[in-house]
Amino acid sequence: MEDTSEAVRKIIEGFGSIVLNVEAVHGLPVVKVPKEDLPVIAHFIHTAPSLRGTLSLQWAVDLRPGERRFQLYYLFSLKERGDWLVLLTELDGDDRLFHSITPHIHAAKWYEREIRDMFGLIAQGHPDLRRLVRHEHWPKGAHPLKKDFPWNTVMERRQGEYAFRRIDGEGVLEVPVGPIHAGIIESGHFRFSVAGEPIMQLELRHFWKHRGVEKVFENLSLVNGVSLAEKVSGDTSFGHSLCYCQAVETLMGVEAPPRARYLRTIFLELERLHNHIGDVGAICNDTAYALAHAHCARMKERIMQLNDRLTGSRFLRGVNIAGGVTVNLWPYHLDEIVHELDEIEEDFTELTQILFNNASLADRLETTGVLNERTAWDHGVMGVVGRASNINRDVRRDHPFAAYKDFTLKVPVYHYGDVQARMRVRIDEVHESIDLIRQAHERLPEGAITAACLPAAHPGDWALSAVEGWRGEILYFVMAGQDGMIHRCKARDPSFVNWPAIQFAVLGNIIPDFPLINKSFNLSYAGNDL
């Protein structure tokens, strides 16, 4: 906590006269400040050379019916590998206005628009307050995460039109793509502005299938919420359920047994493996290299069938529970895992050697879809996309969870920021995941796989949890309600952070390269839209 303590000390030194309170919530430092002073303190955290805080999450909480006020939380990750720091401010009574930090911290842009849509709280000074989640057919004044908004409300449909940004000029054309696509991908609208071949602007319009996940959480108990968490983004079922369980375990003051933590590590790396291998093949497929795609699909399928044999679910659903896991692995299971991965790694290594020696493939991947380091940092980009743009962050190393503190982990980082770099990060992480599973196999302790009991959580208490999913950092904020229920659950898939960045990665490229760039990001539509 040395970096965090230093951060709090610097804030007190510079802004002590306006800081209202400093406390630690489950080891996480929380600095409470007046709403009018929050932007200047946030700007200091973001820009001070000794802090360099990245905004990792921003969310709101409606404290009614207990208290008539809203809370706004801002989570910063300090430096590249620093600790967390939370800023907190409150809006009392009928106050619905707060000051935007987006003009100084670009990563806040979507968070503040989302807060307006879901809570009716308005970020004054925000440069773009168009609707984000609430499409134009939603009636005015409908803010679903307010406590006085019933979860089963059926809203009347309204007519409206979204005001896309436009570039005017001779020869400038708009090319709309989606939201319905020819393939089986989910709904997403991409509007390109071009003058000739190069892309001048891309604007995203997502959130077509809002499911009200965070509202549904409020009708579930802390123990039962895990089944919903694993459905936030289907290809990251284990990562999301693990992150949720960790937050609940913190609230209840329990720790999963050592064997359960090791098993969680194994399963999370299996999830990372089949997704990364599948993505390498899909990137090749978007260059018309179908043979590489076929081999990666074969290897991915082997891992998913292995998942099914081990747990009864190809997507590892039903494995995590609050306090541990439901599935134990016996010696013959572990031997099977190691045997399968030995063969897959040999195949994958041979395939990647072929890929690296393919000049036509390199020509399509290198310098395509470049996301430079400054843009990535400004927007808080994370995970595979961030590490390909020289953002050296990985929760497994920086905030170890499960059993990662017991293992040696190398985090691959590249600075080119192009499709090639994003594919190389995936390839390197495949080998790291296999090595981590081997380490877990060698050191797996004996013992129970679930905690003995789950005490009740105190109403109003909250906890934050982070997991390095295969796309990147997953975050869950869980606040306990009355009688073991959930008062508020804020879930954030890395896709919500990385989607805006793709609008910068495509600039100067041509539209036919967009599917390749988009696949190299491979973001979740469902995980983005809760």
pLDDT digits (tens, 9 = 90+) for 291-332: 999 999 999 999 999 999 999 999 999 999 999 999 999 999
Q: Which of 20-24, 72-76, 463-467, 516-520 has the lowest mean pLDDT?
A: 20-24
Q: Which of 3-17, 440-454, 488-502 has the lowest mean pLDDT?
A: 3-17
Q: What is the pLDDT of residue 28?
A: 93
Secondary structure of 500-514 in the HEC alphabet?
A: HHHHHHCCCCEHHHH
The pLDDT of 345-370, averaged and rounded, is: 96
Domain 2-124 and domain 213-525 have a common topology: no
**Strand ranges inside 169-255, DSSP E:** 172-177, 189-195, 199-205
Is the peptide bond preceding residue 65 cis, with omega within 30 degrees of 0? yes
The pLDDT of 200-209, averaged and rounded, is: 94
Check pLDDT > 50 for residue 1.
no
Q: What backbone phi and psi angles, to 5 degrees, belong to 231?
A: -105, 5
Which pairs with CB-CB distance under 8 Å and at least 24 residues apart come from 390-398? 390/414, 390/415, 390/417, 391/80, 392/80, 392/81, 393/77, 393/80, 393/81, 393/473, 394/468, 395/466, 395/467, 395/468, 395/473, 396/468, 397/81, 398/81, 398/82
Domain boundaries, given as residue ranges, for the chain? 2-124, 213-525
- Write out the H or E segment, with its range, that includes residue 431: helix 419-443
Q: Please provide the average confidence, as pLDDT, over all residues in the chain.
A: 94
Given pLDDT bands bounded at 50, 70 and 90, which one contains residue 82?
low
Check pLDDT > 70 for residue 81.
no
Question: Which CATH code, of 1.10.645.10, 3.40.50.970, 2.40.110.10, 1.10.10.10, is assigned to 213-525?
Answer: 1.10.645.10
Given pLDDT bands bounded at 50, 70 and 90, which one contains residue 4?
low
For the domain covering 2-124, report its CATH number.
Answer: 3.30.460.80
